[in-house]
Every structure is written in C-alpha cells, then in structure tokens.
Amino acid sequence: MQKSGLIAQNKKAYHDYFVDDELEAGIELVGTEVKSVRLGRVNLKDSYISCKTGEAILIGMHISPYEQGSIYNHEPLRPRRLLLHKKEINKLIGLTSQEGLTLIPLKLYFKGQYVKLSIGICRGKKNYDKRAALADRDAKRNMDRAIKERYR
C-alpha cells in the first residue's frame, strides 16, 4: 500500500521529450479512484493534458478499477480535471499555442493527504536526440563501472 511519496512516474516522457519547465497541479478524483491510487494502480504512459474551454483536462491516464468497489466503480480511462488557477491555465494555453510545445504528466505523488501531478512543459525529441541520449547514458554507465572496478 502506497502511503506517501511517489505513486507513478512517466519514464517514457523523459525519453520522448525535452522537459523545459515543470508545474504542480491537483487532480480531481472520485472515491474508488483514490483507493486505487493509494494501492499504486496507476499508469501515466501515453497520457497528455489538454487546455481548452478554460479547463485543464488529463486524458489517457489509466487508474485500475478498485477490486472491492461496487457497481459504482470508476471508468479506468476517463478524462480527469486538473485543479489549477485561472492564471496558470491561461499561461499553459499560451505556451501550448507555440509550435512544438506540449503538456505531459511526469509524476503522480502524494503531498500530505492530497494527490498531486507534476506537469511538464515539453518539446518533442527527434530520433537522433534519443539515440544521443542513449549513447550518453551508456558511456556514463561504462565510466562508472570502470571506476568501480579500478578502486576495488
């Protein structure tokens, strides 16, 4: 059971996008969703945020149905409203109107008793950027491994 800290992380977002800025938002959940989130049954992969009609909506986040729930259980992929101030929503609308910027959920976590979502203002990576990032990570891993071997 998940009591505090990180619930879910969108690792694919860091692979597919450059994260320019981060923003914290609350998320509107129904009762059985909160129980599933506390159990850690959340998937942020392939989800995104749409800012239209003055609201920020999280689309594509999967929260598994609560097993002990009744017929009033929630839909796993329903759109969920994000809790942001009007000024923040207008800022996000302005940023996403620029070419190449998109809003991607990065992390879902507890802050006290509340469930919070870290939103990334992201720019898409090209395939050569992804390959370069993989090569850098492999080179760093090899260097760390060689240093560790040397000082044994």
Write the single-letter amino acid at 122.
C
**DSSP tag of 29:** -
**Nearest 5°: CA angle at 84, between 81 and 85?**
140
- In CATH, 6-125 is 2.40.280.10: yes
Check if the beta carbon of residue 82 is closer than 8 Å to that of residue 58: yes
pLDDT digits (tens, 9 = 90+) for 91-148: 999 888 877 789 999 999 999 889 999 999 999 888 888 899 889 999 999 999 999 8
Q: How much is the pLDDT for 4?
A: 59
Q: Residue 2: count other Cβ atoms within 10 Å of its Cβ.
A: 15
Q: With 70 as the cut, is the pLDDT of residue 1 above it? A: no
What average pLDDT is seen over the chain? 88
More confident residue, 67 or 85: 85
> How far apart (Å, rounded) are the C-alpha atoms in residues 31 and 54?
25
From residue 47, alpha-carbon distances to 60, 79, 92, 152 in Å are: 4, 10, 17, 44
**DSSP tag of 98:** S
The domain spans of the chain are 6-125
